Structure 1
Amino acid sequence: MMPNWPALILSPLLALANLTALYALVTPSCGRQSTGAMQWLSAASLLLSLLFTLVAWRNQRRLAGSLASDAASARPHFLAQVAVMVGLLSSLVLFAMWIPQWIVSPCVS
């Protein structure tokens, strides 16, 4: 059950931390006329979230093979499915926050 927690808890926290760090990097990026630090931060955050999601997905696939008919044994599989969905949603949010960096300059006010 441990492989689920990074995707379930850390991926959404990673998205929030990424947003906060990107806001903090706007002024230095505008001063340097470079979005390199913002791009690297977004890429690293997205890759880490996808890694967490992949680990949860592999755990969910492993648990799918050992499903029984009672509800108690179905709980770990359900938790793994929820972790995969939360991880995917967080990854989608991180990607969506990365797109404007390709289009809009940090100096636009």
Structure 2
Amino acid sequence: MKTWLGLLAAPALVLGAQSADYALVQFACRWGTRAPLNAVSAVAFVLCATATALAYRKWRATAAPFAASYDTRAARGACLALAATVVGALSTLIQVTMWFPQWLLSPCR
């Protein structure tokens, strides 16, 4: 399950956060605060980073040196966990880069 969080949930969180931010722009402008946008982005960032950390821990637990005649099934879990770690890290980076303009630009523009 830790692998699937990094592989599927992290990109879905980034897309969901972007959709929620677009939906909340009118309210943020009307209320004169960036708090709703920052809250959505912060929660998405924390959840993406958590999913990445779980995938990384799973990768480190399953990645072990294999003998030259190893069974390919044993290596599949480590490879999938590594892919989940990379996808989760990329999703976390994308979330930060989408959050950064919210600090600089007004939601009313």
Structure 1 length-normalised TM: 0.94
Aligned to 2:9: 10
Structure 2 counterparts to residues 47-62 of structure 1, below 5 A: 47-62=46-61
- Matching of residue 70 in structure 1 with residue 85 in structure 2: no
Closer, same or farther in 2 for the Cα pair 1:44/1:67, shift >3 Å?
farther
Give the Cα–Cα distance (whole angstroms) in 1 for the partners of residues 66 and 28 of structure 2. Answer: 51
Give the Cα–Cα distance (whole angstroms) in 1 for the partners of residues 22 and 2 of structure 2. Answer: 31
Give the number of equivalent residue pairs.
107
Which one-letter code corresponds to 1:91 in the other structure? T
Which one-letter code corresponds to 2:80 in the other structure? L
How big is the alpha-carbon RMSD for the aligned residues of Structure 1 and Structure 2? Answer: 1.1
Which one-letter code corresponds to 2:48 in the other structure? S
Give the Cα–Cα distance (whole angstroms) in 2 for the partners of residues 67 and 48 of structure 1. Answer: 32
* Identical columns (%): 37
Give the Cα–Cα distance (whole angstroms) in 2 for the partners of residues 5 and 67 of structure 1. Answer: 24
Q: CA deviation at 1:65?
A: 2.9
Give the Cα–Cα distance (whole angstroms) in 1 for the partners of residues 2 and 65 of structure 2. Answer: 16
Which one-letter code corresponds to 1:35 in the other structure? R
Q: CA deviation at 1:104?
A: 0.4
Which one-letter code corresponds to 1:43 in the other structure? A
Q: CA deviation at 1:70?
A: 2.8
Aligned to 1:83: 84
Q: CA deviation at 1:67?
A: 4.1
Partner-residue secondary structure (3-state), 1:55: helix
Give the Cα–Cα distance (whole angstroms) in 2 for the partners of residues 67 and 100 of structure 1. Answer: 45
Q: CA deviation at 1:73?
A: 1.0
